[in-house]
Amino acid sequence: MEKKPHFVRREFLPREVPSIPLALLLAAVLLLNALLYLYLNKFYISLGRVETDHGLCPFGHFKFGAVKNCSPWLSCEAINREVRKLKCVGEGAVKKVFLSEWKEKKVVLSQLTNSELKEDFLHGLKMLKALQSKHVVRLLGYCEQQFTILTEYHPLGSLRSLNETLHIPKYRSMNTWHRRLMLAIDYVSVIRYLHSSPLGTLVMCDSNDLEKVLSQYLLTSDFHVLVNDLDALPLVNRSAGRLVKCGHRELQGEFVAPEQRWPYGEDVPFEDDLMPPYDEKTDIWKIPDVSNFFLGHVEGSDIVRLHLFDIHAACKKKEPAERPSAQEVLDTYRKVLTLLIQEAAMPGTREML
């Protein structure tokens, strides 16, 4: 008679024990989801900053560094009086670039070198003024009479030196598929911004090969991408039947889009007047090649490429109209980043449990 309660307890206990690990599992999953939500929310807030937010200054003003107050763009007089050249750090077809100093801060002074290209220089200045945003290098001042532009200095330089930068001990922790994909997202965000800019649909024409593309962008110290050179940025206006041509010379090679290449064969000499114009989908064609550079050959980069295969294949459609918009590419990149972060988090959860 006394053994019966004893057996009842044995039968009852196994039914209660599983409730403890089940509760732990549920709590772990909820905690993981909360942490992942907070991380992604913070990340997308960073991505989704107001397009025109450039230090929260009104048009014609700037601030940078720890300075709280906005200053008006420097005039010719202020540039001549307050800016001191330190050394020449680059020279292109249009302008020469000097590392300079203003009020003990490093800045960049660009000056026209070829008077025949002054229209290109002034067009670049016009674009720089009109497109100030989180995607564009910060304008500090200019002098049209002297063909001079003053911009913010970024010590990591152009994207051409990205791989070298990531091998510096200080930045090796950044050399991951995650950080590299975020840089690619930044780049596509710039293209999206140009295609839907306040001025209309703009085409990044100074992009006939990978090296040229990379030279147009800067890498900031907090590892974001800014477009720096806006000299060749023509406007597409479909409603007015206005398309563009990137220069007046024949373009060749697989990097440029098919519609940018001479369509009449080798037997017909190239003539600029016979070359058909095109639209912003030339920028979309180039995205996979630029992103492939960003992703590099670090652990996990091939998995990222696999997830981006379909959207990149769509970018390489021969017919421009069949290619996705920059917004569609950007949305896909963000979804892939979210998915891969979730997948990377799950194995850690299993080990914890």
Residues 276, 197: Cα–Cα separation, whole Å? 24
Q: Identify whether residues 188 and 79 lie together within a single domain.
A: no
- Reported as a pLDDT band with limits 50, 70 and 90, residue 93 is confident
Residues 282, 6: Cα–Cα separation, whole Å? 80
Alpha helices in 217-308 (DSSP H): 281-295, 301-307
Tens digit of each residue's pLDDT (9 = 90 or more) over 162-206? 999 999 999 999 999 999 999 999 999 999 999 999 999 999 999
From 112, 130, 153, the end of a domain falls on 153
Q: Identify whether residues 196 and 117 lie together within a single domain.
A: no
In this structure, of 15-19, 132-136, 194-198, the range with the lowest mean pLDDT score is 15-19
Residues 353, 349: Cα–Cα separation, whole Å? 6
Beta-ladder partners of 217: 227
pLDDT at 6 over 80: no
- Domain count for the chain, please give it: 2
Tell me how crowded residue 86 is: count the other CB atoms within 10 A of its CB.
12
Beta-ladder partners of 49: none
Containing structural domain, residue 81: 72-153
49 and 133 Cβ atoms separated by less than 8 Å? no
Residues 176, 182: Cα–Cα separation, whole Å? 10
Is residue 77 situated within a structural domain? yes
Q: Identify whether residues 176 and 215 lie together within a single domain.
A: yes
Residues 344, 64: Cα–Cα separation, whole Å? 36
Is residue 30 situated within a structural domain? no
Segment 316-324 shows an average pLDDT of 97
Q: What is the DSSP string of 169-210?
A: GGGGGG-SHHHHHHHHHHHHHHHHHHHTBTTBEE---S-SSH
CATH of the domain at 77: 3.30.200.20
> In the chain, where do the E strands start and end?
61-62, 71-72, 83-91, 95-102, 105-112, 139-143, 148-152, 201-202, 217-219, 225-227, 235-236
Tens digit of each residue's pLDDT (9 = 90 or more) over 266-319? 999 999 999 999 999 999 999 999 999 999 999 999 999 999 999 999 999 999
CATH of the domain at 281: 1.10.510.10
Residues 276, 263: Cα–Cα separation, whole Å? 8
The token duo for 272 is 């600029």
Residue with tokens 């997948």: 343
Q: Identify whether residues 100 and 186 lie together within a single domain.
A: no
Identity of the amino acid at 183: L
Q: Identify whether residues 185 and 312 lie together within a single domain.
A: yes
- Reported as a pLDDT band with limits 50, 70 and 90, residue 39 is low
Phi-psi region of 60 (alpha: psi -120 to 50; beta: other; left: phi over 0): left
Q: Identify whether residues 100 and 193 lie together within a single domain.
A: no
Q: Identify whether residues 263 and 252 lie together within a single domain.
A: yes
From 106, 121, 153, the end of a domain falls on 153
Q: Which pTM does this prediction carry?
A: 0.84
pLDDT at 124 over 60: yes
Find all residues with CB under 8 Å of 240, minimum gap 6, and list them.
Answer: none
Dihedral sign, Cα of residue 125, residue 127, residue 132, residue 138: negative
18 and 324 Cβ atoms separated by less than 8 Å? no
Q: Identify whether residues 269 and 279 lie together within a single domain.
A: yes
From 153, 179, 211, the end of a domain falls on 153
Confidence (pLDDT) at 278 = 97
